[in-house]
Structure 1
């Protein structure tokens, strides 16, 4: 199935229904399916008029605006590749991604004009720059075009372009929890498979009103919520910018039924005062992924919002959705990420590629048309991802599968530390720390030690108004874990550096400790 056809079919079924409701700080905008489909066609024709070769890269630097949805489906109808760029990048990061991706066209939100102007000279491969939401500054960005004028005279008819479902279509750069980000290149079929997976696992239907509260430049919003919603003809509500209060207001005003959140957002919502007093009965579906969700957050949300059905989603940019824990099993399988969906293969494998036995640790792997084409311009890293052969892609996650087929993640393979010759998994320590009621978030990682090689360090963010001593933290670990797993360093922090989808960037926490030392 081609991505561009998803919108077109829903537009034929529900032409006058709202496809996107943009709820910004200053105004609300409603875009019917008919208009969104027509805008996508105009964008496609305008891009094709630039004479770019098939597979050329079009980068998008934009907030969650209604135009984002139109550009997403417009590029899908051209044979070009949309590169979704993080709005959080500093100029050096932005220029790296634009150059590494060989971007030829850059569409940017005028809110980020200064950032684009700062990197324009360092990105000579960009041939066309187009401003969304206003007029470009001709002095800072000579030759830039206004988006509205770029598409104004184009026909709202389907472009005649031969596209195959295995053609490259979409790219997202990984979050940067290690080194430079890598461009994950996907084809139409892979995106369609994940969209269908989400529709089935989250029971999405045309009657749903789906809140988009995470950035569309990441697959968590784009592929786990927006694209599946467009597939079934649901209404999406862009809550921009996100805050717990803005989301609750949107639920009441738009009668939102479903959303996806990263754990950081769910955590903030679980602690929001007065939640029970608000009219949130329409909201019955919450899926989450992106980082481990503390068990206490799930329990608290189910206690405060008993109508809410939670679905744990496990996936990666490189694989799409590869496991889901349905709401019916959250209580008895709490802590699991679920089992494989109906349309992809998932397994926990030993290093030699053979299946791990139930309860035996191995690396989570997936096989099927859901997998990426590869890392753009990174043949060595791509080969490493597919190193087992036989179609398997490796997640980098260590996990175990139980007798019922439910997978529990132990940790990222790269986060494991070796202390005195023993493997230590930070996630195991983090789970014990989350049992302390004062802890809102925590991160455990390895720091160098002359005697043991590495020892655990624990950074903790406490819930508002709570206090906790270092001695109690260490005692909790000594009581629950082997002595070698107790943190040798405990630090209380006001927050964590995170990727756009809420993953704590442990590499930034580790960096000061490993300067001028070889990392283990």
Structure 2
């Protein structure tokens, strides 16, 4: 299936139904379908060729939906750009992705002005929001044909590009086909039980795969209504649930934690909420337990996946209590294996790297042939995540392969230490990573964020770890922090914490 057909079919089924709610605005499925056609023709008539890269720098608002489906129908590849980038990062991505046309929201005018002329291919700017010096969004497409363009596109054709969060260095462009993202949309719709009765909250940035491809596309596929939140806060989220009757949402663990620990938390505000899925970072057990206690009618589904591979596993709500800590079983329509360094599947209880193969897997890292080649082993696409699978088929993450330490010749997995620290009630979040040590090569360091009003000493953390873990795994450095640097999807950027310790040393793993 083509991405544009997801919208077309739902517009045929539910023409008058709201497709997207945003602030005080609403657009029906028929209106969104016609607007996407107009935008597609505007791109085609502007001379944008099939496969040409069109950038989108915008917060969550209705125009994002129009550009997303319009670009899909035009044959162009939509490059979804982080609104968090500074000017140099923005220039890097625009040039790396070969972007020739940039749609941007007016609030990012200063960033856009700072990169004009730097990516040589970028010649066209279309401004969303208040009128400015560039071509206005409405003027660009409002007078174009409303017919569905017939370009003979195929499901295997390139469709969109998102950039990885950059937890280990410069972000990479993940180029995916229509088919890749259709597989993921269908996975989510089935595994999270979405249907046309749902009002789906889009509360993470649309430039990221989690909101755009893991929640918005499935919502459109099944004919649900999406409600966009532009700026996150527990208060704004609660207001949105009450005002729109939101029933389902994808959230990162930090957001769920903020909701259940908010001083103004009132379960009555969330009466319509029935489904939540989460991924992107480890969910502390205490957060899941508080959700079960305070919002028992909200079914929690943990999913696991990557921009490159879509959704790979799902832990449905009825397994949460018995399989707490698991990321679930492989999703019904994807192939998942745990493989050894030679790319051969390992058995239950053995550590292997999570891998996948099939139509869910990206086309390539754009303009990164060496990294694309390294992505594969013996026909399997690699995630970089180590895990074990139990006899029931449930997968438990061990750690990122790149985060593993070798201390005194012993393999040390930071996640094992983090899990122990999370057992302490005072801990809200933590990050463990290796720092250099002249005797042992490297030793664990732990950065810890305490829950509001809680107290905990370094000695108490070390003592707890020594009870739970072998002595060589205990943290040798503990630092209490007030916040963590994170990717837009909530992953702690350990490289930013770790790199300063290794600035003049070589890390060998």
Interval of TM-score (by shorter of Structure 1 and Structure 2): over 0.9
**1:16-27 aligned within 5 A:** 16-23=16-23
Q: Is the 8 A contact 2:267 2:294 kept in 1?
A: no
Inter-partner Cα distance in structure 2 for 1:61 and 1:359? 44
What is residue 372 of structure 1 aligned with on the other side? Answer: 362
CA shift at 1:79, angstroms?
Answer: 1.0
Deviation at 1:424, TM superposition (A): 0.5
Q: Give deviations 1:50-106, integer Å, cap 9, x for gaps.
A: 112210100100000100011000001011100000000011111000000011111
After TM superposition, the structure 1 stretch with the greater mean CA deviation from structure 2, 265-274 or 508-517, is 265-274
Corresponding position of 2:163:
173
Shift of 1:135: 1.9
Specify every segment of 5 or more residues in structure 1 that has no aligned partner in the other structure, as ranges: 138-143
Aligned ranges 1:359-398 → 2 under 5 Å? 359-386=349-376, 388-390=377-379, 392-398=380-386
Say which SS state the counterpart of residue 478 (structure 2) adopts: strand
Trace 1:293-442 onto structure 2 (pairs within 5 A).
293-386=283-376, 388-390=377-379, 392-442=380-430
* C-alpha deviation, 1:277, in angstroms: 4.4
Matched residues, number: 508
TM-superposed deviation, 1:274: 4.2
Q: 2:202 maps to what in 1?
A: 212
Structure 1's consecutive aligned runs of 4 or more residues displaced over 3 angstroms after TM superposition are: none
- RMSD of the alignment, in Å? 0.9
Is structure 2 residue 58 aligned with structure 1 residue 62?
Answer: yes
Of the three residues 256, 263, 267, the one matched with 2:257 is 267
Aligned equivalents of 1:115 and 1:274: distance in 2?
36
SS of the residue corresponding to residue 269 of structure 2 reads: coil
Partner residue, 1:15: 15
Say if 1:54 and 1:80, in contact at 8 Å, map to a contact too. yes
| Matches of 1:430 and 1:375, distance apart in 2 | 31
Counterpart check, 1:474 vs 2:459? no
Indicate conservation of the 8 Å contact 1:350/1:363, yes or no: yes
- 1:151 & 1:179 partners in 2: Cα distance? 37
Q: What pairs up with 1:75-114 in 2 under 5 angstroms?
A: 75-114=71-110
Mapped to 2, the partners of 1:279 and 1:318 lie a distance apart of: 36
Task: Look up the SS of the partner of 1:229 in the other structure.
Answer: helix
What is the CA distance between 1:405 and its match in structure 2?
0.7
Partner of 2:436: 448
CA distance in structure 1 between the aligned counterparts of 2:500 and 2:20, rounded to whole angstroms: 44
TM-score (norm 2): 0.99
Name the TM-score, length of structure 1 as normaliser. 0.97
How far residue 211 of structure 1 moved from its aligned partner, in angstroms, is 0.5
For 1:260 and 1:290, the matched residues in 2 are separated by 10
State whether residues 276 and 304 of structure 1, in contact with CA within 8 Å, keep that contact through their aligned partners in structure 2.
no
**SS in structure 1 of the partner of residue 419 of structure 2:** helix
1:191 lines up with 2:176 in the alignment: no
Conserved 8 A contact 2:342-2:378: no
Query: 2 CA distance for matches of 1:235 and 1:272?
Result: 27
Distance 2:263 2:320 in 1: 25
Equivalent residue number for residue 240 of structure 2 = 250
3-state DSSP of counterpart to 1:224: helix
